[in-house]
Amino acid sequence: MQLHHRYATELADTVSAVKPQPLSEMSMPMYNRELAAQFELPDSDALMSAIFDEGGELATNAVAQKYGGHQFGQWNPFLGDGRGLLLGEVSDDQGTSFDLHLKGAGQTPYSRHADGRAVLRSTLREYIASEALHHLRIPTSRALCLMTSEQSIVRELPEPGAMMIRMAPSHIRFGHFEFYYHNKQQDTLDKLMQYTLTHHFPECLQDANPHKALLTAITLRTARMVALWQAYGFVHGVMNTDNMSIHGITFDYGPYAFIEHFQSDAVFNHSDYEGRYAFDRQPGIALWNLNALAYAFSGHLNTDDIRACLTLFEPTFLSQYHHQMLSRIGLEDNAENEPCLNTWLSLLNAEKRDYTQSFRQLIMTDPQQESVPLRDQFVDRNAFDNWWQDYRQRRLAAGVANDALYPLNPLVIPRTHYLQSAIDAAEQGDFGPAHKLMEAIRQPFDDNEITREYSQPGAASSQGSLSCSS
């Protein structure tokens, strides 16, 4: 395995070399062979040997990155890779470069008195969710492998410790740029921007104003990502700017959830007392975060340039969102059909219907029929009937067959109760349920025995608030 160290070498003054503290008697029960094959990485045993030597020590250089971030709207400069280490970068045969990033390997200079560890519960949740979003075609970081140990990590109670290797185009966050801007380290900020342009956004270098092109690209990618979150009911849970990737990929999974019993203002992070990161506030928060990032560009762009970039967010988000949502229900992408979509969402919200299951049931329903069994899922049948007559006429006019809509409407999402069952088993040393759930989420749009097993909603009580602790 050939690792490159571009970030650590070219931006040496933004990182700290760290000697990791591996867990004792580690094993690797989860390994992403699909992702490994893309980058021609070795099999799981060889990967362990390439990363750790016989004594369990890290066999390659590792660095922790420094950054800050706005956490729940408040600036915090005392952040950085508190439990994550950049091992280096690998490339596939197309020249695509991805970071290898190890999480849970002990303290770094940025751990702030924390232990730098991760527990199996949160690590397995991230592993499964990132692969689920990837197969739903939502941009995301990806999990390469999960390592666990008998060594306990204390959170509220002792829990099994774990580590994982995450892959992404880079681990550069909004908070990287913010930190060097707010600390008035313009030279370092300029180096970071040049590195980002050269290695990750080279197309922007062809623009008359590369920095404006870069901020525009980040804005557009973020808008498209959040539109897909909204379309598929994903709640990130903690959209601090240090958890926002410049690549517009879903990043830093914590108290996330997919909405089941639909509630437009759903909050799952038990630390989010004011609902800042509620489902329906995610687009606005994404734009707020982009505004926070944009200050770092003020040394290169004037106010009008920055405003021109950021004003692209709303139309891009709305265009992507309406296209995805109208496509999901088989309607043409035009403004005339948006009220029909909004009424459908209002019906789901009013009766807390299961979001994913309701879309799937809808596209299995014959629009030729004036009265359909789907109406029995709703208490207010008159409201459904009125909407159905409007919808079916629009649907018939569009002429889209039901079969064409299956690849847009998943049968499987990583529901909280299935995740918890997999975690409970894994904590007892049985990763069979986790592997079986992974098999289902890798084919979310297919209808077969394994996906049907993981398609049922949980009880309303099964999707409560979730902890940030990891």
How confident is the model over 25-38, as pLDDT tens digits? 889 999 999 999 99
Global pTM value: 0.95
Tens of pLDDT along 220-244?
999 999 999 999 999 999 999 999 9
Query: Can you tell me the distance from the alpha carbon of 205 to that of 199, in angstroms, rounded to the nearest whole number?
Result: 11
The predicted structure's pLDDT at residue 45 = 79
* Structure tokens that stand for 276 in this block: 């800042």
Residue 184, annotated as binding a ligand: no
The answer to whether residue 356 scores a pLDDT higher than 80 is yes
Residue 442, annotated as binding a ligand: no
- Count CA atoms closer than 13 A to 201's CA, side-chain side: 24
Mean pLDDT, rounded, for 290-317: 98
CA 435 to chain centre: 20
Residue 243, annotated as binding a ligand: yes
pLDDT confidence band for 465 (50 / 70 / 90): low
By the 8 A CB rule, do 60 and 87 touch? yes
By the 8 A CB rule, do 99 and 169 touch? yes
Tens of pLDDT along 127-139?
999 999 999 999 9
Mean pLDDT, rounded, for 394-404: 95
Tens of pLDDT along 264-290?
999 999 888 999 999 999 999 999 999
Query: Mean pLDDT in the chain?
Result: 93
Alpha helices in 136-209 (DSSP H): 174-182, 186-199
Residue 252, annotated as binding a ligand: yes
Residue 83, annotated as binding a ligand: yes
The answer to whether residue 53 scores a pLDDT higher than 80 is no
Query: Can you tell me the distance from the alpha carbon of 304 to that of 26, in angstroms, rounded to the nearest whole number?
Result: 54
Query: Can you tell me the distance from the alpha carbon of 349 to that of 261, in angstroms, rounded to the nearest whole number?
Result: 8
Query: Which residues are identified as catalytic?
Result: 242
The answer to whether residue 469 scores a pLDDT higher than 60 is no
* Burial of 296 from C-beta contacts in 10 A (0-12 / 13-18 / 19+): buried
Query: Can you tell me the distance from the alpha carbon of 19 to that of 42, in angstroms, rounded to the nearest whole number?
Result: 23
